[in-house]
Amino acid sequence: MKRIHLIRSAELFFLSGLLCLLAITACDIRVNDTDDNAANTNFFAAEPFSFEISVKNQTRLNLTAINGPVDVIGVAGATTAKIFGERRVESESEADAKAHLKELEVRVSDRQNEIAVNTIQPDNAHGRNYKVTYHLRIPSAWKFAVDHVNGIALIDSLRNDVSLKIVNGSVQLREITGSVDAELVNGQLTGKLWLPMQGTCKMATVNGQILLTIPKTTTAEFSAAVTNGDISLSNLSLNNSVSTPKSLRGKLGDGQGTISLSTVNGNISVTGF
């Protein structure tokens, strides 16, 4: 009986030790699985992407971006919309960057009257940089809207409305004929705009200046306001103007449209051509 008891005790001791070892190993595995942070971003992996969609009943393109530059150029008479660029991951090794490149996706949806382009990436980058460079070539008569976090944006040669919401990054609008609604937190807004009759131009930034160029024949109710900065109007006639050290308002032409500009830290400059 004593021998059987000793054998069972030895078996129990062995089993207890094995269970403890398995528990420790499992704990180590869990820690390693969650410790996925990259120590630096000295290496990268990148792949190009390209989409081309035939123009049918679409009238606009909506882009949701997270990190990287964006340029949009309107093409007169275009029969396709082209979306191309590069996906890029920066990490502590080329192998790690390649392994995580599959987590960065550009998703394009062709809907009934619009094309939606969305950036898909992990919510937690774990120290890596996920970047997408976007080049968009769309019919010049389309509307365009972008919701972006970090990156510069260039929009050129569109003859319709443009809407932008960007957290960090400068914006340059070239040869735009249409209404504009642009909101930035940190960055400069530069625009050359032909405002249609009854059109609206609203530009606002927290940290950055606004530089707007418009025809001398523009007709709009005009207002500009700064908290820390100056306002200047050149080569334009502002009727019924009312000014303070930090604000200016009045009427351009017959005042048929609306121009509203504001910044907290920065200057506002409006020039007629």
Give tens-digit pLDDT for 247-271: 999 999 999 999 999 999 999 999 9
For 175-194, the pLDDT digits (tens) are 999 999 999 999 999 999 99
Give the three-state DSSP class for 213. strand
Strand partners, 256: none
CB 152 within 8 A of CB 171: yes
End-to-end CA distance of the chain: 108
CB 266 within 8 A of CB 205: yes
- Per-residue burial over 8-25, b if 16 or more Cβ lie within 10 Å, else e, is eeeeeeeeeeeeeeeeee
Strand partners, 228: 265
Cα 217 to chain center, whole Å? 33
pLDDT at 112: 86
**pLDDT above 90 for 25:** no
Share of the chain above pLDDT 90, in %: 86
Summarize the confidence of residues 96-123 as an average pLDDT.
Answer: 96
Q: Is the model more confident about 18 or about 101?
A: 101
Two tokens, residue 8: 């069972």
pLDDT at 35: 63
pLDDT at 123: 93
Summarize the confidence of residues 91-100 as an average pLDDT.
Answer: 96
- Record the pTM: 0.85
Pairwise CA distance, residues 139 & 74, whole Å = 5
pLDDT at 41: 93
pLDDT at 36: 84
Summarize the confidence of residues 211-222 as an average pLDDT.
Answer: 97
